[in-house]
Amino acid sequence: MRLELQKRPQSSKALAYLSPFIALGLTLVAGAIMFTLLGKNPATALYTYFVEPLFDPWARDQIILKATPLILIAVGLAVCFRSGNWNIGAEGQYLFGGMVGAMIPIYFNDWQSPLLLPMMMLMGMIGGALYGYIPAILKSRFGTNEILTSLMLVYVAQQLVDWLVRVPWRNPQGMGFPGTKSFNESAVLPDLMAGGDAHYGAVFAILAAVLMWFMLSKTLKGFEVTVLGQSPRAGRFAGFSARQMTVFAFCLSGALAGLAGIAEVSGSVEKLDDKLSLGYGFSAIIVAFLGRLNPLGIIAAGFILALSYIGGESAQIMLGISDRATRVFQGMLLFFVLACDTFIHYRVRFIPTPNKVNA
């Protein structure tokens, strides 16, 4: 007896809806097993991770703060993935957008104007889009693998930002620590609530998700994204250009990642430093798939993953576990999401092994 995956005649609609919930349930079960092996009470650990932060006002504020870049980046990635383009380098576009958007308050530190913040956001989006254009043009013109090029560009962006904040842009009064001068009030995104850390970048994230949902579901461009992603050959017959779609999807994804970058720089850190790279671009891949590549579903997925970040920090303090447990949770979540998605298109068959007849 052996197992075999057989392609379904039609994709399972029921599993398409249930897949994220099944993946979450399996992640919780696997997490409970992990905590048991660590010698922790699984019920207490899971409560600390996923329930307790919801009743703490400070933790709720931090969840919004963490979810903001995850949602912004994941919404852009959803457009890329649905079009058949695999942008794995959103972290680099996030960094480059934050760097480009920060140029204005860095070079004109004393300039205060109502136009300053909109210009910074726009510059961040342009920076992210230009950085996303590099793997797009390499794929559309030369046929290079966008997974490799976009991923390698992440490390280029990390090293570039690290060098800038340590050498040419370093604050002379910063006591030798890497980082630029702090931004003035006109260059800082306002807080959502008085006394909280969450900023108006959260509003950008929700608006971006709604606009991308409208584009994908209600416009011709969204239809083009879907057709080229599902069947490039059918898209060519319809008169759609796969090359133009590659450039469009990468630039749009890069622009939203860049907006997340400059929102993080302006709203959370209020300067550019060497700690901007927090892995949001990679974690957003989990968010995109957990949200079924649907911008509205990504909003919920972003908050779920942000909850795992804050719950993980709480568990480190309350239970004395390593921060690697949070990463294990996220890895398990992505694994189960992808595994469950497989059964949308395939079913498991048991194939009897034929008996060998001795000659």
Which tokens belong to 16? 């398409």
Q: How far apart are CA 305 and CA 66, in angstroms?
A: 9
State mean pLDDT over 254-277: 94
Question: Domain span at residue 96?
Answer: 70-291
Q: Is residue 317 part of a domain?
A: no
Reported as a single tens digit per residue, the pLDDT across 122-151 is 999 999 999 999 999 999 999 999 999 999
Q: Name the pTM for this structure.
A: 0.91
pLDDT-derived band at 356 (thresholds 50, 70, 90) equals low
Q: Which amino acid would we find at residue 171?
A: N
Asked whether the predicted pLDDT for residue 202 surpasses 90, the reply is yes
pLDDT-derived band at 246 (thresholds 50, 70, 90) equals very high
Helices (H), ranges, 4-56: 13-37, 42-50
Q: Is residue 319 part of a domain?
A: no
The count of domains in the chain is 1
Buried-exposed string 47-76: b where 16+ CB fall within 10 A, e elsewhere: ebbbebbeeeeebbbbbbbbbbbbbbbbbb
Q: Distances in Å between the alpha carbon of 312 and those of 286, 308, 309?
A: 17, 6, 5
Q: Can you give the pLDDT at residue 339?
A: 87
- Asked whether the beta carbons of 119 and 145 are under 8 A apart, the reply is no
Q: Is residue 194 part of a domain?
A: yes
Nearest Cα to Cα of residue 241 among 83, 82, 81 = 83
Q: Distances in Å between the alpha carbon of 190 and those of 37, 101, 268?
A: 44, 16, 10
- For residues 293 and 357, the model is more confident at 293
Nearest Cα to Cα of residue 92 among 58, 47, 127, 53 = 127
Q: Is residue 233 part of a domain?
A: yes
With tokens 């260059």, the residue in question is 187
State mean pLDDT over 177-197: 90
Asked whether the predicted pLDDT for residue 79 surpasses 80, the reply is yes
Q: Is residue 11 part of a domain?
A: no
- For residues 98 and 50, the model is more confident at 98
Q: Is residue 348 part of a domain?
A: no
Q: Is residue 333 part of a domain?
A: no
Asked whether the predicted pLDDT for residue 357 surpasses 60, the reply is no
Asked whether the predicted pLDDT for residue 297 surpasses 60, the reply is yes
Q: Is residue 334 part of a domain?
A: no
Q: Can you give the pLDDT at residue 359?
A: 46
